[in-house]
């Protein structure tokens, strides 16, 4: 009886050893695969855990937004590959100021944010903005009090008048005052034209915009409004 128990114990020990060896081999294989996979992916042309900014810059130099599609987020931590690629496309659009790249992200919040960033970069240094405090600040340095848009002649400064014409066009039904804004600098009139297109939800109203990139921003915003996403 005692010898029988010893035999069983030996068999169990041998089985445990075999199991341990198998488990060790499996773990070693898993570790090898884990570390070998990034090397293989790199050899296949993918950018494993690559910098979003650097990849976007490379894409911009090559004029290829598709460079962002090569990014793979690999590892236990960090955002998933899809999110990293979207971040890269947005950065590419920012660097190139190319709104067509933003369409790859539409109609997600990433896409709207991308379009807004590109539009802001293209319009940098022009126009006026009204704030909750009631003040209007213009990029030219002109500032004034918001006294409404019923009569733009009440504003003495030209920049404030142009802001008023744009606001009337943007907010009032049946009003189009863009032609009252001088064509020099053209960007102010074209910004007004974009607001008119948004108000009417009519992409054909974007056609008078001469700047190709700003016209594309206009067309995309009209196209995707009402798509169920967070359109600004």
Q: Residue 24 pLDDT > 60, yes or no?
A: no
Q: Residue 39 pLDDT > 90, yes or no?
A: no
Confidence of residue 7 (pLDDT cuts 50, 70, 90): low
pLDDT, residue 64, reads 93
Torsion on CA atoms 196, 198, 203, 206, rounded to nearest 10: 40
Task: Note the pLDDT tens digit of each residue in 176-188.
Answer: 999 999 988 788 8
pLDDT, residue 46, reads 61
Task: Collect all residues with Cβ–Cβ distance below 8 Å to 97 and sequence separation of at least 6.
Answer: 118, 121, 122, 213
Which residue(s) pair with 48 in the sheet? Answer: 72
Q: Residue 86 pLDDT > 90, yes or no?
A: yes
DSSP assignment, residue 73? -
Q: Residue 8 pLDDT > 60, yes or no?
A: no
**Are 60 and 92 a contacting pair, CB within 8 Å?**
yes
pLDDT, residue 184, reads 81
pLDDT, residue 76, reads 65
CA–CA dist 205, 198 (Å, integer): 9
pLDDT, residue 81, reads 80
CA–CA dist 224, 116 (Å, integer): 13
DSSP assignment, residue 182? -
């Amino acid at each position: 009886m005692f010898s029988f128990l010893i035999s069983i114990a030996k068999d169990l020990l041998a089985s445990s050893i075999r199991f341990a060896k198998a488990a060790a081999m499996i773990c070693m294989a898993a570790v090898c695969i884990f570390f070998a996979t990034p090397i293989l992916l790199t050899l296949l042309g993918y950018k494993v855990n690559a910098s979003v900014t650097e990849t976007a810059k490379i894409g911009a130099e090559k004029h290829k937004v598709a460079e962002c599609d090569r990014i793979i987020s690999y590892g236990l931590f960090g955002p998933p590959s899809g999110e990293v690629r979207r971040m890269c496309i947005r950065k590419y659009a920012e660097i190139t100021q190319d709104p067509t790249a933003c369409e790859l992200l539409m109609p997600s919040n990433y896409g709207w944010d991308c379009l807004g960033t590109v539009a802001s970069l293209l319009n940098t240094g022009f126009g006026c903005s009204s704030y909750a405090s009631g003040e209007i600040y213009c990029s030219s340095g002109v500032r004034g009090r918001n006294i409404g848009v019923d009569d733009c002649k009440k504003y003495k400064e030209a920049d404030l008048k142009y802001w008023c014409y744009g606001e009337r066009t943007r907010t009032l039904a049946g009003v189009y005052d863009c032609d009252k804004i001088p064509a020099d600098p053209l960007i102010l009139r074209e910004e007004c034209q974009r607001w008119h297109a948004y108000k009417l939800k009519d992409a054909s109203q974007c056609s008078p915009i001469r700047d190709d990139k700003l016209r594309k921003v206009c067309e995309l915003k009209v196209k995707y409004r009402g798509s169920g996403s967070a359109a600004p």
